[in-house]
Structure 1
Amino acid sequence: ALCESALQTPYDSLKLGMLSVLSTLSGTIAIKQYFSSAPGTAAAPAKSFDLVKLAQECCYHNNRGIAAHGVRILTNISSSCQDKDLLPLEQDAVFGLEALLVLCSQDDSPGAQATLKITLTCMVKLVKCRPHLSQSVVECLLTQLHSAQDTARILMCHCLAAIAMQLPVLADGILEDLMDLYKLIGQSATDKKQELLVSLATVIFVSSQKALSSEIKTVIKQQLENASNGWTAYRIARQASRMGNHDMARELYQSLLTQVASEHFYFWLNSLKEFSHAEQCLTGLQEDNYSSALSCIAEALKSYHKGIASLTAASTPLNPLSFQCGFVKLRIDLLQAFSQLICTCNSLKTSPPPAIATTIAMTSGNDLQRCGRISNQACMKHSMEEFRNLATRYADLYQSSFDADSATLRNVELQQQSCLLISHAIEALILDPESANFQEYSSNGTAHVESEYERRMMSVFNHVLEEVESLNRKYAPVSYLASNTCLCNAVIALLKVPLSFQRYFFQKLQSTSIKLALSPSPRNPTEPIAVQNNQQLALKVEGVVQHGSKPGLFRKIQSVCLNVSSVLQSKSGQDYKIPIDNMTNEMEQRVEPHNDYFSTQFLLNFVILGTHNITVESSVIDSNGIVWKTGPKTTIFVKSLEDPYSQQVRLQQQQGQPPSQQQQQRTAYSRF
């Protein structure tokens, strides 16, 4: 009915409103149900024809808003119904998008820019689901990039970078055109030109992620020296770090060290320079050259240790850089684990197992005897446990990063998967080949890959898994030489992929924090709260959720999980046989904030006399039910005292005096 009304109405404003509703609905799962027809019915194709006809008519409308909603509907149909042959719809969508691009890129008005954003978003979505259309879309963007307004150019560069991160569509010839445009833009120093320099440099980095030629580096640095400020140079260096061009990033960070106004900024830039140099050291790794690999890793670790010292100096109480420090420390420990694994494998060459190692393994029933001295010292088992421990720590870092963007979280997840991959390879090749489960670690494919870094890491994962599975099945039991070669090559393959420092490492777009208040609370934090051991403490926990300028940008808080636990620090008085349930307090409650405020209460028992340490820790649960360990963690002390009557009875018993009848009667009814 809505399609029929939109087709028949002569009023553009009414048609625009109905198209807005239809374009929103076309982006949901309802579009699939709309185009699916039950067997033996012809109503569904007729209805779908109305929607397609409406979108095809509107995508060439002279009203920009109507045309934008028309191409948006066609794009959503093409992306949602990929199992259908929709060639005419694809062509209409591409032609409509190109027409809107030409029209809106020459206009700086807010309405034109809003329409351009819809157009470019549709282009990215269409190319993602229909890769065969990428070349024509990219050529159209590059053609308009030379003649468009600066505001439109910035948006178009973002669109080109988004497309290039999904598909390798920017060839060397296109890169030359981008460099010519970069030289032309660098001649002006206006704010829009500075923003455009950053956007265009991002496209250049994406299109040449593997290595930047010396000519490109020279051009970028010359333009930055001629017409840019320090902030623009820092943003370009930051983009180079995100795209894995660490050599370029290191040079830019080095040039900015003397242009900052505080020592915290200096230490921050110096740490980034050292991290970039460390990753640059790993680009020279080569397969089957393990001594060189150890030297490169040692050089990288040296720079990383310098960088973490500068990063610690750059932190402040208001900006503790907790994610950055945690990520870098994990990277250092991962490199050390890789180095130790290569050393362990190399030691087998100098001290190989005896010739009768296989016979000993078969006789003893311990397959580890095939590897000789190394397995006896449990070095390989230690390496496997170390990589699993690193994977657990990466998972903890993931859970503590509630405000991180999806690309940063995916990067942390990839590091965790690399640790699990190596631990699985050690187990499958050496420790327990017979029970190795390859199905558990198999990749789900690269259909949802969002960046070149992820694509390369997934390619390495698949290659290593194939090698390990092939050795495990064809040459069981695997010889120590083949297994060690496979492990060392897997480590080198992982390190050869340039590490990507994602957005959250540099910039926090979403900021969420929780402040807790406990009552009762002592005046002095180190002073304990006095409670009698026959009473319960009612602990009230209040909290406020604090947001930054963009609350809920990536995820929203559905509820807050409060965990209260108590630990006995020091006993006082005699030890009594008390049930274990009464010795500790472990409670958890979930509360939903109202207007960013929440409160709840806990009843705690302190039967054992002495000082107890109470810890209240908060975590948040987002709208998808995922628990994030955001903190904070608050601690108070409670001193459990003996009630006066029990103390009097105990003293009388120690003196040998029986309690009076009146006191016994009081004991029976004192609690009622």
Structure 2
Amino acid sequence: MIGVRVNAFNENGLGEPEKDANSAMTELDKGLRSGRVGEQCEAIVRFPRLFEKFPFPILINSSLLKLADVFRVGNNFLRVWVLRVCQQSEKHLDKILNVDEFVRRIFSVIHSNDPVARALTLLTLGSVAGVIPERQQVHHGIRRSLDSRDAVEVEAAIQAALQFAAQSKTFALSMCNKISDMIQGLSTPADMKLRLIPVLQHMHHDTATAAMVRHLCLQLLPSYPAEEFVLVTLNALTQLASATLVDVPVQVSLLLKHLSMDPRGAVGTAALGGLLQLSGGNEGGGSSTVPKADGGSKEGSLAHLWPDGAVGELAAITMNLYSASSVPPSSSRTTSGRLLSRALTLLCRLSSSAAALQSFLYPESPLLDICMKCCYSTDVVLASKAVRVMTKIVCKCNQDEWARGQTVIVDCVADKAESLFLYVACQDGTNKNPERNKMYVKQSLYCLVTLARSHRKLCPRFVDLIGSQLEICEGPNVVLLCEALGAIGGFQVGALLPLLPLLLLKLRTSTYSLLNLPPAVKRLHSNTVTMLCTLVFQTMIGYEWTDDVFGVVKEVIEKAPLWATYRIARSSARYGHHRIGSLALCRLVEQVSSEHLHFWLVALREMSAGEALLSSPVIVSPDCKPPTLLSRLSMANAHYAKAVAALKATSTPAHGLQFQLEWARARGEFLQAASQLCLLAASLVTAPPPAIAATLAHSSRDELLCYGHVTLQLRKCAKEFRACSDLYWKLYQSAFDADPSSLANIQILQQMCVLMATNIERISLNSSMSEAVLDLSWQQCSLETQHLLSSIQEASAVGRHLFRRDRETKVITQLLVECLVKQVEVLTDTALCFPRFFFQVLQSTSVKLAISPQPRVPGESVFVMGSGGGGGNTGSQLALKVEGVVQHGRRPGLFRRVASLLLTVSTAPVHLRPTSAVDPSIKGGGDAGMVLSQIVTPHRDFFAAQFLLAFPLQPGQGGLAPGGTQYVVSVEACAIDEEGDVWRTGPRATLSVKVHDEGGGGAGGAGKAGGNARSRN
């Protein structure tokens, strides 16, 4: 029988219910107390995962104290694993509450006779240097261990010194002279000096020490010219300069000097690495086909601190490297080629700085010269980097006001980018490494897309170029070409229209190829078909579908695999082609095995069917009249009601579709309000105002009431549109992780509601608010955003001649109401584009809360003793502690980060029975609720706050309530981003609190429980 190893520590990998923090901690504690070393080690290595899952101070404090005990009494093997836990849990170390006790247990091992144990102690103390930076006994232990005769202990002391010097100014100042003496001492071995020099990079806590350390390192460069010493010393000087900033110009000059004069390749590589670090910033996603919307990095740049002429000198050195790499084959040529590639990478980093622009814009610029020479190099790596440098400089010139008027040859850079693209595209069939060629194609396409984004006049030129290659291209590069065309087509409406016949031809060919292909090749063709359909959707946005185009896409939907069909339906919904999406979803609804997925597809099908009725209603026969606007609105609203019900059915506790549900509900409310307005317009002709309308208007001093029920109905419609606008605003505030395009989608839909409400109020109210203006830059808008914005502009133009100026005498006429209906028709006939956040979450941020005190039994109340005896009603107070952690997904901070959190605590009494009489003399006899707020800043994604809550006793029948007063405490967390905007992200937690009168007769046993709870708190 095959032996199966039983895992004593459940990982919840087989569907077992997830354990809470106490259960997991108890299980790991049992493992620590085991007599088997293997089980102890297995328990120790699981603590970092426990910290990530339950990152709260109480659990982390008790866990690390237990690990410190294991470190104190265990062997060196267990100490190694405790050291690994401390190194992996660096961001949780500051949550240790009993720091003194933790250090005492660890530091006790320093007195061991075993040098390995002492070395592990020093390494462990160094790993927790962030929470014990000023412990003098630890400082003394490190200093003493530096003089040890054991090499292992000395290496550990050097590592601990490196970590403490980065955290403690006192330690850095006290150890500076000793480290300096050891480095300059003749008795110190060379390998130990190499380990001691990196400690100097943290001696930057004051200017005098930083200057002394820099002077020492500069003396070491000529004294120790060996390659290892030069590399370590240059790196220490670079780290020191990046921390102090005042030595950045001098360090840049030093690195440029070594780069130009030192022939050793490793030194040149280190010098370029130091310059790369001192340049700051980021390359900006050079490997991606689609550039970022912000066009750069969020990190700061140090290029403005570089001395004048440094970029030009770097370009001249790069030119020398280019010349050296052109000599006959030799080892020096290989070294120069590697350095040339790294130098061009550095120029890519610097290309967005003002220094690079100034060095690029004057005639006979060495930077321009080296880029021109490298862009035609046979080495594709050098050519792509040179073209990228020129592309980023040209785009930066278009953004800066002072450089926009300079003579920058945009067409010349576009020619270089086109030449690079054609060269790498022609290598597709001859290159022996297809993955490498795919990377080159991606980089060349990135340059084309970046140029098209900055200079929109280049869009038709690049579309024609990429389309010509798409016509003859086969293989994996087809998807890259389609992605580039999609990125360029998203900049302008109709940019891809000339390629429509080619796209249809490629779709027909790919559809026929899907039938008889191996699975791997079929998957690749499915991606190609999906991208081609997306390009067709982009091309047809704002245009009427022809029978030819519709027939080709319909044939693709019928023959494509199910996942490709879903992707096509998703793309059609994003670009507003809901008739195609409805056909695709009808095929998919019954093809899934999960009930939740079935209802998700049903919801998408109903929403697509409703939008298809609004934008492109299907006419059964020529004799049939097209459905009226009111009937279309009613049917679409019914579809949305079914979609909302399906979305509720597909939601699960693990995957709550809150955004999708609220977005669909808000759209349904808008359609409902629009249908009410159409009904009102129809009733205006058939129901004239009654004879007493003028008398009612005169008595109520509202002249508009003389038009009868129409006035009241119009005002009701305006309120409905305002309520729908509030729904969109609440949805916007909750979408913290949404991409900018999705947020713009919500803003536009809200603006539609505001537009209709404002226009209705201008004719139905004596005084109305002005129309809000939506400020969205067309230059940065996506294709679907531009499409929705055009509908708002068209609807505003419809009623502009009727609302040109405020009339002295307001009247409600059929013409004005028909104008409102026409605006509704314009807004609803425009195809609605679903936001990307509806289908795809690129950034995931969640907040986890923990409230204390908690009741002993879940579901019961926390008892607090009040002091309401003797006729008073002072109540009691409770200290509430709120802890939480901000959890991120795979791409944290992609669009926005949580800079701080707004914690709001509210209390409200629970009225179990109505009170017939309330004594007004009793203070707090009415609503005794309170609201407290506090802004906290998370540290390493953890935050904590405390609130002091007051709970007055509520009056009962003729006095205080005999059973006490029960309160509901609600805690809500709202995220605040870096710009100070508040997002209603949640979560929301509740706690039940019951206050007893310790002087009343009904306290009894509850008073005892409340006293115990109060003593615990």
Q: Could you say which TM-score interval applies, normalised by the shorter chain? A: 0.7 to 0.9
User: After the TM superposition, which of the residue ranges 250-259 and 69-78 deviates more from structure 2?
Assistant: 69-78
Q: Is contact 1:536-1:605 (8 Å) kept?
A: yes
Please name the residue that 1:539 is paired with: 880
Deviation at 1:148, TM superposition (A): 3.8
CA–CA distance in structure 2, aligned partners of residues 4 and 607 of structure 1: 75
CA–CA distance in structure 2, aligned partners of residues 499 and 334 of structure 1: 13
In the alignment, is residue 605 of structure 1 matched against residue 950 of structure 2? yes
Please name the residue that 1:373 is paired with: 708
State the TM-score, normalized to the length of structure 2: 0.57
Deviation per residue, 1:328-366 (Å, 9 max, x gap) = 111111100001112223322234569999999999985
Please name the residue that 2:986 is paired with: 631
Deviation at 1:115, TM superposition (A): 4.1
Deviation at 1:425, TM superposition (A): 1.3
Which letter does structure 1 place at the counterpart of 2:981? I
Please name the residue that 1:667 is paired with: none
Please name the residue that 2:192 is paired with: none
**Correspondence list, 1:451-490, <5 A:** 451=783, 453-473=784-804, 476=807, 480-490=813-823
Please name the residue that 2:932 is paired with: 587
Please name the residue that 2:724 is paired with: 390
Structure whose CA Rg is larger = 2
User: After the TM superposition, which of the residue ranges 127-136 and 13-22 deviates more from structure 2?
Assistant: 13-22
Which letter does structure 2 place at the counterpart of 1:421? L
Which letter does structure 2 place at the counterpart of 1:557? V
Please name the residue that 1:568 is paired with: 909
Deviation at 1:140, TM superposition (A): 0.8
Deviation at 1:443, TM superposition (A): 5.5
Secondary structure, in 3 states, of the residue corresponding to 1:552? coil
Deviation per residue, 1:453-496 (Å, 9 max, x gap) = 32232223223334434322368357523321221111111111
Using the aligned pairs only, state the percent identity. 31
CA–CA distance in structure 2, aligned partners of residues 389 and 290 of structure 1: 31
Deviation per residue, 1:269-312 (Å, 9 max, x gap) = 122111111111002479xx998100111121222222222222
Deviation at 1:259, TM superposition (A): 1.6
**Correspondence list, 1:77-476, <5 A:** 77-82=393-398, 84=404, 89-105=409-425, 106=428, 109-148=434-473, 150-170=475-495, 172-186=497-511, 187-188=513-514, 189=517, 190=521, 191-209=523-541, 210-226=543-559, 228-284=560-616, 292-352=628-688, 366=702, 368=704, 372-376=707-711, 378-432=712-766, 437=770, 440-441=772-773, 446-451=778-783, 453-473=784-804, 476=807
What residue ranges of structure 1 are gaps of 5+ in the alignment?
37-42, 651-672
Q: 1:305 to 1:80 in 2, by over 3 A?
A: same
CA–CA distance in structure 1, aligned partners of residues 407 and 356 of structure 2: 19
Secondary structure, in 3 states, of the residue corresponding to 1:98? helix
Deviation at 1:99, TM superposition (A): 2.2
Q: Is contact 1:402-1:628 (8 Å) kept?
A: yes
CA–CA distance in structure 2, aligned partners of residues 245 and 389 of structure 1: 28
CA–CA distance in structure 2, aligned partners of residues 400 and 22 of structure 1: 41
Q: Is contact 1:556-1:623 (8 Å) kept?
A: yes
CA–CA distance in structure 1, aligned partners of residues 689 and 1000 of structure 2: 70
Deviation at 1:154, TM superposition (A): 1.3
Deviation per residue, 1:408-431 (Å, 9 max, x gap) = 222111110110111111123442
Deviation at 1:541, TM superposition (A): 1.6
User: After the TM superposition, which of the residue ranges 169-178 and 130-139 deviates more from structure 2?
Assistant: 169-178
The number of residues matched between the two structures is: 631
Q: 1:110 to 1:598 in 2, by over 3 A?
A: farther
Q: 1:174 to 1:463 in 2, by over 3 A?
A: same
Secondary structure, in 3 states, of the residue corresponding to 2:590? helix
Q: Which has the higher contact order (CA 8 A, sep 6+)?
A: 1
Which letter does structure 1 place at the counterpart of 2:487? A
Q: 1:173 to 1:163 in 2, by over 3 A?
A: closer
Deviation at 1:6, TM superposition (A): 2.2
CA–CA distance in structure 1, aligned partners of residues 733 and 364 of structure 2: 44
User: After the TM superposition, which of the residue ranges 262-271 and 165-174 deviates more from structure 2?
Assistant: 165-174
User: After the TM superposition, which of the residue ranges 142-151 and 197-206 deviates more from structure 2?
Assistant: 142-151
Deviation per residue, 1:347-401 (Å, 9 max, x gap) = 22234569999999999985525x711455x222221122111111101111111
Q: 1:602 to 1:217 in 2, by over 3 A?
A: same
Q: 1:73 to 1:356 in 2, by over 3 A?
A: farther
Deviation at 1:321, TM superposition (A): 1.4
Which letter does structure 1 place at the counterpart of 2:794? H
Secondary structure, in 3 states, of the residue corresponding to 1:611? strand
Please name the residue that 2:973 is paired with: 618
Which letter does structure 2 place at the counterpart of 1:236? I
CA–CA distance in structure 2, aligned partners of residues 206 and 291 of structure 1: 28
Q: Is contact 1:160-1:203 (8 Å) kept?
A: yes
CA–CA distance in structure 1, aligned partners of residues 568 and 885 of structure 2: 37
CA–CA distance in structure 1, aligned partners of residues 912 and 675 of structure 2: 47
CA–CA distance in structure 1, aligned partners of residues 338 and 691 of structure 2: 87
CA–CA distance in structure 2, aligned partners of residues 50 and 342 of structure 1: 69
Q: Is contact 2:360-2:368 (8 Å) kept?
A: no
CA–CA distance in structure 2, aligned partners of residues 562 and 380 of structure 1: 40
Q: 1:456 to 1:482 in 2, by over 3 A?
A: farther
Secondary structure, in 3 states, of the residue corresponding to 1:513? strand
Which letter does structure 2 place at the counterpart of 1:390? C
Please name the residue that 1:70 is paired with: 386
CA–CA distance in structure 2, aligned partners of residues 276 and 358 of structure 1: 47
Please name the residue that 1:8 is paired with: 317
Q: Is contact 2:900-2:937 (8 Å) kept?
A: yes
CA–CA distance in structure 1, aligned partners of residues 810 and 713 of structure 2: 18
CA–CA distance in structure 2, aligned partners of residues 392 and 59 of structure 1: 54
**Correspondence list, 1:500-519, <5 A:** 500-519=833-852
Q: 1:170 to 1:447 in 2, by over 3 A?
A: closer
Deviation at 1:137, TM superposition (A): 0.4
